[in-house]
Structures are given as structure tokens and as C-alpha cells.
């Protein structure tokens, strides 16, 4: 086992999109990084190189977040490589394969999204939480943190992707539950709700949102970037917002700000 003198963060789905933006910001903040995904390691080599160029050791664990039986093996891999885990960022998630009106949506799509977006991170957090509780006993002053990356869709209804909205709304409650449970162990838990972020997930609706931004859908009339989300997550993980466990942070350019 190669123990790390630096704090270590696991960013699920950290090889691209918002996850990569988070991983890069944490690497710049002095964290070694673990990312996971379903692809072969060769497919994420470029992302790992970017993370390492930002100053971190980067370890890739091939693991499907929806496969609960693989969670322990993934954590064992982290333990063997670094000997510690200081932060979990539950970022991995998927959009519906096809947007469908809730009057026509299928159970298969619902089950897929709930399995990946909710069930997987809920039970991964359970395992990580128990490991962090043990670490807290051994290192009372270590900065630990758990972050749930949800979406404005936790509260903003989109009737053509109800399964996605429900999975994110439930994940918001999971964040609150873990914050309440882990408070006695001084392990803060936060939720980050991105708005419209320019990633491969939103690439199919570029024209739609270009127009909406121009019309003022958000106060800040631009797409959000993975770095925008990454900077907020890094601040939370570092402990820059103390005495705020259980809170959710909107990273949406003012899209959900009530205006008249």
C-alpha cells in the first residue's frame, strides 16, 4: 500500500464533464484524486493526464456506480493505493436515453435512472461514511466531507424527463439524511445543484439553451461550465464554508432566482 500524505478525493464519474471539472479543481487544491467509470482505463488516459498535470496523483477505478456489489472492491482499491479517503463527491449520473412526456415514459427508463442516479450513490455513501467514521477516530482533526451533486431538477419540474427530476429530488433528501446522521462525527455533507452546464449531456440541446440564455432565462446570461461547479465543490471540500453542513448550493447563474 502506498499511503498518501495528501488528502484524497473520490469523484465518481470524474473523467469528463462536471466530474472532470471538479477533479481538476480539487487537484489544484492539493488533493490526490480517484475517478471511476465503466470504460477501460485507456479511454480515460487523457483525463487522468489533465488531473496529474494539475498536481495530483490520479487513480482510476473501473466500477459501475449502479453495481452495489462492486462498491467494496472500489473502496478496497482506494485503500490499497492511498490508505485513506477524505472526500466523496457523488457526481456520476445519467440523463434519460430519450426524453419522454411523463404520460408516455417507461418503467425501464425510470428504473435505469433511479439505479444510477440515486440507489448507487446512496449505498456507496453508506460504505464511505462508515470508513470515514473509522478514520475520524484515528484522525480527529482531519478535514472530511461528502458532496452530492444533484441538479436544479431536484426542484424545477421538467415534464419530459420526470424520471431524472425524481432521481435528483430523492438524492437531495439523501444528502440531508447523511448530513443529519454524520453530524455527530464531524463529517459535513453538502448538496450542489448545477444549472444548465455545457457538457456532453447537454450537447443535444445547445441551440435551445443558446436561445433561452439570450432571452434571459438566467441572471448570468451564459452557459455554466464544469469549472464553475468544480470551484464550489472544492471550496466545500476544503472546509471554506464551515458551520454549513446540510446546505444546498445553487450553481445556476441565477436561473432559479425568483424575479418579477
pLDDT digits (tens, 9 = 90+) for 73-92: 999 999 999 999 999 999 99
Which helix (H) or strand (E) element contains residue 148? strand 145-149
CA angle (157, 260, 168) in 5-degree steps = 20
* φ, ψ for residue 95, nearest 5 deg: -95, 165
Classified as helix, coil or strand, 15 is coil
Find the mean pLDDT for residues 187-203: 94
- Model pLDDT for residues 155-166, shown as the tens digit of each residue: 999 999 999 999
Classified as helix, coil or strand, 131 is helix
* pLDDT of 2 over the 80 cut: no
Percent of the chain with pLDDT over 90: 94
Going by C-beta distance under 8 Å and a sequence separation of 6 or more, which residues neighbour residue 69? none
- Model pLDDT for residues 59-70, shown as the tens digit of each residue: 999 999 999 999
Cα 40 from Cα 19, distance rounded (Å)? 17
Q: Name the pTM for this structure.
A: 0.96
* pLDDT of 130 over the 90 cut: yes
Amino acid at each position: 500500500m502506498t499511503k498518501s500524505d495528501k488528502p484524497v478525493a473520490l469523484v465518481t464519474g470524474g473523467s469528463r464533464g462536471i466530474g472532470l471539472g471538479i477533479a481538476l479543481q480539487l487537484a489544484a487544491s492539493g488533493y490526490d484524486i480517484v475517478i471511476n467509470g465503466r470504460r477501460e482505463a485507456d479511454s480515460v488516459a487523457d483525463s487522468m493526464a489533465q488531473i496529474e498535470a494539475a498536481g495530483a496523483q490520479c487513480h482510476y477505478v473501473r466500477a459501475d456506480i449502479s453495481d452495489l456489489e462492486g462498491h467494496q472492491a472500489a473502496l478496497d482499491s482506494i485503500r490499497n493505493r492511498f490508505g485513506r479517503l477524505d472526500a466523496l463527491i457523488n457526481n456520476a449520473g445519467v440523463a434519460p436515453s430519450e426524453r419522454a412526456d411523463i404520460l408516455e415514459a417507461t418503467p425501464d427508463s425510470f428504473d435505469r435512472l433511479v439505479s444510477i442516479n440515486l440507489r448507487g450513490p446512496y449505498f456507496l455513501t453508506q460504505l464511505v461514511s462508515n470508513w470515514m467514521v473509522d478514520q475520524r477516530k484515528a484522525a480527529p482533526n482531519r478535514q472530511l466531507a461528502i458532496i452530492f451533486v444533484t441538479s436544479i431538477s431536484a426542484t424545477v419540474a421538467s415534464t419530459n424527463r420526470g424520471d431524472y427530476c425524481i432521481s435528483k429530488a430523492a438524492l437531495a433528501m439523501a444528502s440531508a439524511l447523511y448530513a443529519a446522521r454524520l453530524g455527530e462525527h464531524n463529517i459535513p455533507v453538502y448538496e450542489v445543484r448545477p444549472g444548465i452546464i455545457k457538457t456532453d449531456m447537454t450537447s443535444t440541446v445547445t441551440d435551445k439553451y443558446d436561445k433561452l440564455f439570450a432571452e434571459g432565462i438566467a441572471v448570468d446570461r451564459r452557459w455554466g461550465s464544469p469549472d464553475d461547479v468544480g470551484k464550489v465543490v472544492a471550496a466545500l471540500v476544503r472546509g471554506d464554508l464551515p458551520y454549513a453542513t446540510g446546505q444546498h448550493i445553487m450553481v445556476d447563474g441565477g436561473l432559479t432566482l425568483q424575479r418579477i
